[in-house]
Chains A and B, each alone.
Chain A
């Protein structure tokens, strides 16, 4: 019985189930909510079963459709794929619950409800497919699926600004992925394979390969919105409905980053990455400071959160310069940890912003006045989720920053220290601004009634974000399965 359970091809179901459900939800719009909810309930189970089947058994590699490898597609089942699937399942489940309240049955904008569920399930399935893809071309296709569904979801509000944001995101997305695809073509030309593992063994430091690396990195940087290519992100994340914003910042931005992480640690090590790594580190540093400063200036909650995402992406790019030989495992783990915890915290924050927008009619910060009072759960959710953005213990953000600072100290790259520390201070400042409004006591004539699915699911997510540092041991152990890096996470300095 257990054998049967563990040897199911769970990872394939993680892609097939949401894609099938998306089609069903599109064909039966009346039942879309229930199809969505059922899928959202099933997918975490599949993800858990998939993780169990990989960690408990050493089953044969899975190939889609059962075709042998050159023809079929072999799924990646390493730790990075597993933790990203798990985070996607968790965040996706919460977003789905929240969306039940955000898009009520009798909405006057029936189109929104009708198209949200198919598109969202499509996005979810594409993300899952991306995380288990093991070759460069599949990564391209899945990344395009993610972008395509994101574009449609951003346009869901239907206003002219939403349309413009969606179109702009579409152009950016296509530009990025074509640049990436050209790089893939160059690599294929040299080695006649797009398999990440094979490429990693064969690649050598030629000029053409460096050009390919530059094209791919540029494309992925554009898609994951690293400064100065972040210009499209605030608009896109702000214009989308709240559940979509949550998914975009939690999953979609990470999708491009995961590809870059795989390339950097599995394909590029043989190339000369010194200059590119430091360039990415520099841009990341600027992103941290610039994004935080911009967040500090915003008057609207969603824009504030979006700029905070720009800053957090900056931290993710510090991984590349910090991954020196002795700190390789540390930097990689720090990046993965930050990705996981940021996904939980940031999506919870966007949901709070959405609830405030929903009930107060606007997400201006001044509308938050009194939110800490009788509807105080919003303020609590926001505070808890913000701990990981600031990097306060015991959140995952705290330990990620710990790892980064440690790596910077050990590798002697002290110039990243003031960046990380000032980023933390600025984050505390912009969060404190929000809290200042939320705890301001005002007498309201009436208090909004918030559906419970818009209250408690985000709270769950923010509590997980807050406590992630305490429960990170197992996820990190899983992430390190088959990881391309080896060594100690907490490196000690030698005098």
Chain B
């Protein structure tokens, strides 16, 4: 019976979402209450599950869909990593979105699809086999589209079309690859060591093609170059959506899927033995460099952050592709760290746009004086991205470097160094502008009581995430940190 906690976690965001759809636009209080209650309840359930999984009690629930296909929900250590991240950030983003969208139209629709989007992400985290994963992965595509086009402007709709074109094509390839794999390998439960190792060697050719198809299709959401085009154009969405898209929902779903396929479907040993991972590592390395270079020349703040995401998400893939314990730790921990840092940056960018109407980097001169707290959070996020010790980003890069040495692929170190330099090159000038350049004109003074720079709903979330970025860096070695948890996953994965 206790396994009912899994559907309960799913429903904790799905049900409020469905109810919100039916609410009239003016029911602000009820809507806010439903949102927050769902998010808090989910966080509580996740905490309960966390304790259980730490004690190696895995929860699992199977529901027959077709005579030979099941919906499998399972919570293992890796799902908990992603689940905790999404539950925590959903709560913060909901608070932020309530503040951000205050007084704007179509909020019932927005929060309804927002909850569906989070439900889909939760489902992805809890998927126990590839079929279930595909189901939720596609659900995510659909529920995100209305969020991307939320503003309803022709520009937003054009971005929505690009987004749909890429993700639907990717989803179709994923679907086809999954059906193909299912038809030669049988049930596709996620299990350590994979499910394909025992197959007839005559099938290895097909398996390699399917692996390539899976990587390509998941690479669309993970924004692997050249499949990343949709991500910068989707920046037209409201700030909370961008934040969620980049930190947990869409981009991470792709990365998480790649981790699952490599670890739990093909298995590290098999994929390494078949040389499947080296092309992935190369593509990830290329994406890291390419994204950073493109970010350099972006004047629009959100676009700069978007290209930064393109680059940073591939760190995760690079870590996975190394197939060493240290590399895996580096990649997985970056899944959490990048999420926290990037969501901080997007919250801050949203605050700038919402409060002062700033969208461009060259308008940010001296903005640190007008919005010191927001900009402090931004600085923490940016420095974390660069990988400055002792912030969270440093931990990821450190382990990635160690992993590349252990894997005997020192060229990856060069990629990491180059990328760090590029990160510095596109973030430090912004930080410099914020704090050390005189503002061109006086900012409009705050209309809020006590001269607060912006409302609490907009200020608290980025401060919280920035604090987490610092804490996860400083306290990386202690129990309960992301690093600690990831080391646990890697130990279980590699049987150490």
Contacts and interface: CB of A to CB of B under 8 A. Distances in A.
B243 to A, nearest CB: 21
A439 interface: yes
Range of interface residues on B (Cβ < 8 Å): 35 or more
A476 interface: yes
A129 B200 CA distance: 51
Contact of A387 (B66, B109, B142): B142
B387 to A, nearest CB: 38
A424 B174 CA distance: 13
B164 A489 contact: no
Interface string B152-184: 111001001100100011011001100110111
A393 B186 CA distance: 20
Interface string B127-160: 0000000111011011001100111111001001
Interface string B177-201: 0011011101000000000000010
Interface stretch (A56-64, A136-144, A243-251, A368-376): A368-376
Contacts of A206: none
Interface stretch (B41-49, B67-75, B245-253): B67-75
A299 interface: no
B67 A476 contact: yes
B134 A490 contact: no
Contacts of B22: 377
Contacts, number: 130
A372 B109 contact: yes
B63 A425 contact: no
A477 interface: yes
B108 A376 contact: yes
A481 B275 CA distance: 48
A470 B108 CA distance: 26
Contact of A392 (B138, B186, B200, B203): B138
Nearest to A402: B179
A436 B168 contact: no
A491 B183 contact: yes
B479 interface: no
A432 interface: yes
B25 interface: yes
Interface stretch (A261-269, A356-364, A405-413): A405-413
Contacts of A403: 66
B409 interface: no
B477 interface: no
A469 to B, nearest CB: 6
A428 B139 contact: no
Nearest to B202: A495
Contacts of B64: 473
B490 to A, nearest CB: 31
B65 interface: yes
Contact of B68 (A376, A393, A490, A493): A490
B479 to A, nearest CB: 38
A393 B184 CA distance: 21
Nearest to B146: A439
Contacts of A491: 183
Contacts of A373: 105-106, 109, 152
Contacts of B105: 373-374, 441
B70 to A, nearest CB: 9
A410 B145 contact: no
B278 interface: no
B184 A489 contact: no
B183 A410 contact: yes
Interface of B is mostly: helix
B21 interface: yes
Contact of B66 (A372, A421, A472): A472
A405 B179 contact: yes
Given A376-B109, A490-B182, A436 B67 contact: no
A374 B109 CA distance: 9
Interface string A425-461: 1001000100110011110000000000000000000
B161 A432 contact: yes
Given A409-B179, A440-B152, A495 B69 contact: no
Interface string B87-107: 000000000000000000110
Given A393-B138, A394-B139, A440-B154, A492 B169 contact: no
B149 A399 contact: no
Nearest to B171: A392
Nearest to B67: A489
Interface string A380-406: 100100010010111000110111011
A472 B65 contact: yes
Contacts of B182: 406, 490
Contacts of B183: 406, 409-410, 490-493
B67 A435 contact: no
B146 A470 contact: no
A105 interface: no
A330 to B, nearest CB: 9
A30 interface: no
Contacts of A436: 149, 157, 160-161
Nearest to B106: A373
B146 A425 contact: no
Residue of A383, A387, A439, A489 most packed against chain B (CB within 10 A): A439
A490 B160 CA distance: 35
B152 A493 contact: no
A480 B66 CA distance: 12
Contacts of A480: 67
Nearest to A404: B179
Nearest to A374: B25
Contact of A383 (B135, B142, B172, B180): B142
Contacts of B106: 372-374, 376, 441
Interface in B19-75: 21-22, 25, 63-69, 71
29 contacts: A333-B67, A373-B105, A373-B109, A374-B105, A374-B106, A387-B142, A392-B141, A392-B171, A394-B139, A398-B138, A398-B175, A399-B65, A399-B69, A402-B69, A402-B175, A409-B179, A409-B180, A409-B183, A421-B176, A424-B172, A425-B169, A432-B164, A440-B157, A441-B105, A441-B106, A473-B63, A489-B67, A490-B66, A495-B184
Instruction: Identify the 9 closest CB pairs spanning chains A and B, nearest first.
Output: A441-B152, A490-B68, A393-B135, A473-B64, A489-B67, A439-B149, A428-B168, A405-B179, A495-B200
Interface of B: 21-22, 25, 63-69, 71, 105-106, 108-109, 112, 134-136, 138-139, 141-142, 145-146, 149-154, 157, 160-161, 164, 168-169, 171-172, 175-176, 179-180, 182-184, 186, 200, 202-203
Interface of A: 333, 370, 372-374, 376-377, 380, 383, 387, 390, 392-394, 398-399, 401-403, 405-406, 409-410, 417, 421, 424-425, 428, 432, 435-436, 439-442, 469-470, 472-473, 476-477, 480, 488-493, 495
Given A380-B112, A409-B180, 20 more contacts: A373-B106, A376-B108, A392-B139, A393-B134, A398-B138, A401-B175, A402-B69, A402-B175, A405-B180, A406-B183, A410-B183, A428-B168, A432-B161, A432-B164, A440-B157, A442-B152, A488-B68, A492-B183, A495-B202, A495-B203
